[in-house]
Amino acid sequence: MLFDGRGLCMTSESLRSKQPPPLLNGEVQMINVEDSIVINRPIEEVFAYVSDLTNAPEWQTGLIEVRKTTAEPLGIGTQFTFVRKFLGRKLEASNEFTVYKPNEIVTFKTTSGPIAVEASYLFGTELQGTRVTCKIEMKPEGFSKLAEPLIAASVRREMSAEFAYLKDLLESWAAESLAK
């Protein structure tokens, strides 16, 4: 994955053409960030933990709180409200699952909040365990457009650190279970 000087993801298409990401009135339309990690745990366990967004504050440092606001089991239409500290500000927003395929993918998009976000966690089995890939697409609007390069760099940094923590967390739980 390559990023331009503003911390924005460069697509393979834009790299081949040596063109910057698409512009709208001189500004980038979307922030795209992607990262992945392999966790030495079964796919069912990793999917169950990651797809239940109420677990996210345990491994995402910027999340203060996540509340599930629908009563049904996890699936398409499940909604959450979350409070996140981002760039020194407390932000509250809501999201909804738009795709939910157990042990494959969960996708959600914001339904309220200061930035339009769509994010996916994709899961795959590998020899070493489970590969988790996170893809985030953000469309800053209003005041957040001014901080676009800072937002992109911050999300990329946080995602990498949080994935490393998620790996350590889930693998240490497995080690603790074996020690008992």
Q: DSSP string spanning 30-85?
A: -EEEEEEEEESS-HHHHHHHHHSGGGGGGT-TTEEEEEE---SPSSTT-EEEEEEE
Phi-psi label, residue 26: left if phi above 0, alpha if psi -120 to 50, beta otherwise? left
Q: Are strands 63-68 and 31-39 parallel, antiparallel or unpaired?
A: unpaired
What domains appear along the chain, each with residue ranges and CATH number? 2-179 (3.30.530.20)
CA 153, 143, 116, 47 dihedral sign is positive
Is the pLDDT score of 103 beyond 70? yes
Q: What are phi and psi of 62, to 5 degrees?
A: -80, -15
* Structure token digits, residue 166: 């998620």
Burial category of 33 from C-beta neighbours within 10 Å (exposed 0-12, middle 13-18, buried 19 and up): buried
Q: What is the pLDDT of residues 163-178, one digit of tens each?
A: 999 999 999 976 665 5
Rounded CA-CA distance 27/62 in Å is: 26
CB neighbour list of residue 98: distance below 8 Å, 6 or more residues apart: 76, 107, 108, 109, 118
Q: What is the pLDDT of residues 24-71, one digit of tens each?
A: 455 546 778 888 999 999 999 999 999 999 999 999 988 999 999 999
Rounded CA-CA distance 51/93 in Å is: 18
Q: What is the pLDDT of residues 121-163, one digit of tens each?
A: 999 999 999 999 999 898 866 555 555 566 666 666 777 889 9
- Global pTM exceeds 0.85: no
